[in-house]
Amino acid sequence: MSHELNQPKGCDQSQDERDCHVIQTSQWDLKKDRSGFKSVKPFRSGYFGASIKLQPGYTAGVITAFYLSNNEAHPGFHDEVDIEFLGTTFGKPYTLQTNVYIRGSGDGKIIGREMKFHLWFDPTKDFHHYAILWSPREIIFLVDDVPIRRYARKSVATFPLRPMWLYGSIWDASSWATEDGKYKADYRYQPFYGKFMNFKASGCTAYSSRWCHPVSASPYRSGGLSRQQRQAMNWVHRHYLVYDYCRDYKRDHSLTPECWRS
């Protein structure tokens, strides 16, 4: 079963030239039976968020995902921006993985740009809000409005600029999701599920006029992060960052020049 985030009537063009502002408060329970949701229109920039509550207990090998992708338009050569919750075993915390793929780097020739975090709360106890802010100059990942990662555009080759749809899904990734595939999905613990509500999507669709202005994370609408936001992100990195691809010296960083370009 799949759901569509429908554009409400009257949102084709707002006064600030930003169209398709969607707020959907109904709760959707996604189970690992090919269920998911997708936005009706592709976006070229915007703020995309949802409140998510994860399943407790044994969820190894199972990923709950909230992401942007244009794989349907560019199969084998697509872009993607991910928030993924990597399932876990009893007594261990979930890992939140953020990732960025550009022009097919996730299609058989993996060049992931993963940053992984533990959270400062138990994501199975209550709903928390997770969001992606994507503009032509940067991608910012947020948890309860706290920025946890900023991925800046340092070159066209390392930044996704083609329109993407918003998706949510839950799927079996036993080969790698939990401790590099050490623990697999165990279907004795099914159904595996993720609960989604309070969807927000506000931005410029692929069909917006050139006057449509990208959203900004900064309260000054100038792009980037405010000083307070940078301090909050640094706090997250000091205490909860568990993997940064740029600091993985086993990787070939000639393929990820954004790691060393200022």
62-97 b/e with 16+ CB inside 10 Å = b? Answer: bbbbbbbbbbeeeeeebbbbbbbbbbbeeeeebbbb
Q: Is 84 a catalytic residue?
A: yes
| Residue type at 87 in one-letter notation | G
Q: Is 4 a catalytic residue?
A: no
Candidate list 4, 17, 72, 80, residue with the active-site label:
80
Q: Which DSSP string corresponds to 28-43?
A: EEEETTT-EEEESS-E
- The residues facing 28 across adjacent strands are 196
How many residues can be counted in the chain? 262
Backbone dihedral region of 246: left (phi > 0), alpha (psi from -120 to 50 degrees) or beta? alpha
Answer yes or no: are the C-beta atoms of 201 and 47 closer than 8 Å.
yes
Candidate list 84, 138, 179, 258, residue with the active-site label:
84
What are the residue numbers of the active site?
Answer: 80, 84
